[in-house]
Structure 1
């Protein structure tokens, strides 16, 4: 019986322990449930905070984009203002240049009017001089006092007589009566150089050289204005080797002899 009591007592202790463990287990389960609820609340709070954070990030991103857009607009507006300022400066420079051009044009117009007036006066003086030369009648002189002149124009040779004291204008008129052409008068000296006559002084020098040389006639070579340079006999210069096939004219024996005689001399040594 004492053993039964001991067993019953031991069984009672075991039951009490089991009840205590059950109570502790139940308390643990309740704590676990409360903990899970708390964790769930924390998770919900965390998720809510995450959503809030995402919303804030979106808001910040939108605000950043808005600020960038505002800055871009400000930059474009600044560039537009600079462009407008440059356009205004360019327009101002253009206006100044146009004003200068107008003033320059006015000055040129005034100068042109003055030049036209001066040219008209010169033309009138030339016309008066031409009328005077047309009506000019030199004093009659004997044929012995006049100088015999040979005129060479290409292959045409003419005789002419001029006074020893004739002016360049009188020579032009006399030659114009023989050849109605636009020409250049050249004097051939003893060295076979063709010297261009432009003024009365040139003609006087040519007459003095003619008198010193005591030649029977004064030789004048005429060249048409704008024509290619020819020899004293009116023939064109000899072509270089290889140019004959191009249809160029051949020089006759007389011209070949003349060029051979003057070989080594400078035919272009003319006095202007």
Structure 2
């Protein structure tokens, strides 16, 4: 079975205006012969301009969220079709900040995944436990439950990835130990194979949670880690390229 092609994706969250396009260009210029696929997911206001700025480069542009309907009276929301029309190639779905702040359920995330597939976007589906859930010994139960609930069967045979983000490690500077990361990634892999068969061994499982140049090498070389979903460190070309080169 072919090993997954790694994916390093930068989630800019609610950061970045026009001037930030220069950082995106610097990232694209510095990627070189990196063995990973690289993506930047900027705010929706930059999607079209960034896709134009990075056209012809190795860096893909993605969205940070998408509605489960293709169109409708949903003020302020953006559909997967709109993201694709703006030049996006992939989209982050089910991020912990959406699950917590917007009360997104596994069912809602699964419906968003279906919408992404209809629009031809590659879903990057996020799962992860809170500190309370980890301390209660429920990390594997919570994460594998999210995988089962958030991934519709329509994903069979499609290109997608999972991003494991321990909620308590995002933006805190804290990271799980390597054995902790490997344990959860192995559980996710087993669940994917259970759901989609042996072909699911080719699905990259990204790690997300305070990834930075100083810890990227250890994380990216851990068992079943197939890349990273990077937050704050993806906003600066030097930091993001440091993570990319850690492969």
User: Which TM-score bucket, shorter chain as reference?
Assistant: under 0.3
Which of these two proteins has the greater Rg computed from alpha carbons?
Answer: 1
TM-score (norm 2): 0.21
TM-score (norm 1): 0.20
Structure number with greater CO (CA < 8 Å, separation at least 6) is 2
Identify, as 1 or 2, the structure richer in helix: 1
